[in-house]
Amino acid sequence: MSKLSVYVIAYNDAPNMRACLESVAWADELIVVDSYSTDGTEKISREFTDKVFQHEFHGFGRLRNEAVAHASHEWVFSLDTDERATPALRQELNRVIHTREAADAYFVPRKNYFLGRWIRHCGWYPDYRQPQLFRKARLRYRDELVHESYDVEGSIGYLKEPALQYPFRDIDHYLAKMDRYSDLMATRMVEQGKRFHPHQLVTHPMFTFMKMYVARAGFRDGIPGLILSGLYAYYTFIKYAKLWEASASGDRNVIHV
């Protein structure tokens, strides 16, 4: 009988940990990989599982591979601290892992909540990012700092039931989180040898806004859609500003976290 390992990677996200772990407390194995949080994240995690491991952060790709290495079962499900697995998703996961003709990896749609509403546009739904359900031996994440890609051996499928995601509590939380992510992205671009060009500070933020607000119909999400599109344009601007800063100073070690 197939069993499921669920892993959660965490860092200083105590406000989300309890709801996240409660949503997957039914798992055959629950694993938390923490990067030495200082806010109670580890303590909350140990209320749900004794499989809490500490790993230094050297990028999300490596951290996810370390989490998967702790899994004991053939099937693995990944859930971030700001995500929740619904009862309907649990049922679909259980059905899939017991299906003889199951694919080797599955994308899970995500419904994102921001500024008081579920965001249905802006490219935020169904928001397939990377396979979240997969056979342990068939998927490996690439060793990348952020927005990590992956390699799958075998077939890929798509689940119907969404995970719920609450990525930002408010605008201040968005800005704090994106400050860290822009550091990581600038570092990744420097490591990849990408060069800074002045037009990137103008064209790339404009393109991001138009893609989310117009091409992906963010205007249909009202004021939250407008704000979200503007915030992502801002994030894009800061990311390239930090790339310029690193290029001008010759600093290949951008990360400030």
Query: Each residue of 174-232: pLDDT tens digit?
Result: 999 999 999 999 999 998 899 999 999 999 999 999 999 999 999 999 999 999 999 99
Domain shared by 124 and 222, yes or no:
no
Query: Each residue of 101-154: pLDDT tens digit?
Result: 999 999 999 999 999 999 999 999 998 989 999 999 999 999 988 888 999 999
Q: Is residue 255 part of a domain?
A: no
Is the per-residue pLDDT at 257 higher than 50? no
Query: Each residue of 158-176: pLDDT tens digit?
Result: 999 999 999 999 999 999 9
Is the per-residue pLDDT at 256 higher than 60? no
Give the domain-ending residue among 132, 150, 165: 165
Give the domain-ending residue among 165, 180, 200: 165
Q: Is residue 256 part of a domain?
A: no
Domain shared by 178 and 121, yes or no:
no
The count of structural domains within the chain is: 2
Domain shared by 207 and 143, yes or no:
no
Q: Is residue 230 part of a domain?
A: yes
Nearest-angstrom CA–CA distance, 200 and 207: 10
- For residue 134, what pLDDT is reported? 98
Which residue is associated with the tokens 């117009």?
214
Q: Is residue 254 part of a domain?
A: no
- For residue 147, what pLDDT is reported? 86
Query: Each residue of 44-65: pLDDT tens digit?
Result: 999 999 999 999 999 999 999 9
Q: Is residue 120 part of a domain?
A: yes
Q: 3-state SS of the chain?
A: CCCEEEEEEECCCHHHHHHHHHCCCCCCEEEEEECCCCCCHHHHHCCCCCCEEECCCCCHHHHHHHHHHCCCCCEEEECCCCEECCHHHHHHHHHHHCCCCCCCEEECCEEEEECCEEECCCCCCCCCCCCCEEEHHHEEECCCCCCCCEEECCCEEECCCCEEECCCCCHHHHHHHHHHHHHHHHHHHHHCCCCCCCCHHHHHHHHHHHHHHHHCCHHHHHHHHHHHHHHHHHHHHHHHHHHHHHHHHCCCCCCCC
Q: Is residue 70 part of a domain?
A: yes
- Write the CATH number for 18: 3.90.550.10
Give the domain-ending residue among 165, 190, 223: 165
- For residue 144, what pLDDT is reported? 87
Is the per-residue pLDDT at 253 higher than 90? no
Domain shared by 159 and 175, yes or no:
no
Residue 136: domain span: 4-165
Domain shared by 156 and 187, yes or no:
no
Domain shared by 131 and 210, yes or no:
no
Domain shared by 21 and 132, yes or no:
yes
Q: Is residue 182 part of a domain?
A: yes
Q: Is residue 21 part of a domain?
A: yes
Query: Each residue of 29-41: pLDDT tens digit?
Result: 999 999 999 999 9
Domain shared by 75 and 197, yes or no:
no
Domain shared by 110 and 12, yes or no:
yes
